[in-house]
Amino acid sequence: MNRVKVEIYGIAPSQIQGSYSLILAEIGGDRKVPVIIGQYEAQAIAIQLEGINTGRPLTHDLFLTFSKKFEIEILEVFIHKLKEGVFHSTLLCEQIGFLTNEIDSRTSDAIALAIRFNCPIYTTDEIFEEAGITIEDNSIAKPGRDMGHEPPQANPKSENKFKNKTDEQLEKMLDDALNNEDYMKAAIIRDELDKRA
């Protein structure tokens, strides 16, 4: 089984209602594989990549704080199996001074944790052969400002509705979105404000 290092290429709405496609791309190659995740999992990944301050720790942030407090590190995420359309992942963890352990994880949670722990993500050639895709257009949102990519975006119609708002209105809407924990909307509003700066 040949391991392949991947990175997050983008997040796009899925054809399945209320879900998203998280696109993982082979580092140093052209292969990509989509992982279908739920809206909350997409938000957990996008807000970390976007650097949005949620005010209160979300579940994955709490896991990070807990782990750091007890000197536990996640060394890597390994997406090792695709069975009946479901990706299976493990976290390779280490408690300082102790042996490493593998922990089973949902792939969406594993990736949300990988970006918080800043650890590598791997998959296999077999998974690329079974579920790999070719993407010819660049319309998929490439999240993370510090990665040199464009931020995640919802569909263009929802973004356009913010263009006619004043900065003050957008600031209020941003506060409301954060208070309601609608982080995808908050990211879109913040991007509109950033364009005006």
For the chain, what are the domain ranges?
3-151, 153-197
Answer yes or no: CATH 3.30.420.40 is held by domain 3-151.
no
Q: Give the Cα separation of 192 and 155 in Å (integer).
A: 14
Q: Give the Cα separation of 56 and 41 in Å (integer).
A: 17
3-state secondary structure of 86: strand
Cα separations (Å) of 64 from 70, 78, 96, 111? 10, 18, 15, 13
Q: Higher confidence at residue 138 or residue 14?
A: 14
Average pLDDT over residues 87-100: 90
Which pLDDT tens digit goes with each residue over 9-42? 988 887 777 788 899 999 998 899 999 998 888 8
Band the pLDDT of 137: cuts 50, 70, 90: low
Paired sense of beta strands 3-13 and 72-83, if any: unpaired
Average pLDDT over residues 85-113: 92
What pLDDT sits at residue 64?
Answer: 92
Instruction: Tell me the two tokens of residue 63.
Output: 């896991």
Q: Give the Cα separation of 89 and 92 in Å (integer).
A: 10
- Residue 16 contacts by C-beta under 8 Å, 6 or more apart in sequence? 36
Strands (E), the chain: 3-13, 19-26, 32-38, 72-83, 86-95, 100-106, 121-124
**Cβ atoms within 10 A of the Cβ of 7, count?**
15
pLDDT at 94 over 90: yes
What pLDDT sits at residue 80?
Answer: 96
Band the pLDDT of 192: cuts 50, 70, 90: confident
SS3 string, 87-124, reads EEEEEEEEECCCCEEEEEEEHHHHHHHHHHHCCCEEEE
- pTM, two decimal places: 0.73
Paired sense of beta strands 19-26 and 3-13, if any: antiparallel
Which pLDDT tens digit goes with each residue over 35-75? 999 888 888 898 888 888 777 888 899 999 999 999 999 99
**Cβ atoms within 10 A of the Cβ of 179, count?**
11
What pLDDT sits at residue 119?
Answer: 96
**Cβ atoms within 10 A of the Cβ of 40, count?**
15
Q: Higher confidence at residue 4 or residue 139?
A: 4
pLDDT at 93 over 90: yes
Which pLDDT tens digit goes with each residue over 141-178? 555 433 333 334 434 444 457 778 888 887 888 777 77
Which pLDDT tens digit goes with each residue over 117-136? 999 999 999 999 999 887 76
158 and 187 Cβ atoms separated by less than 8 Å? no
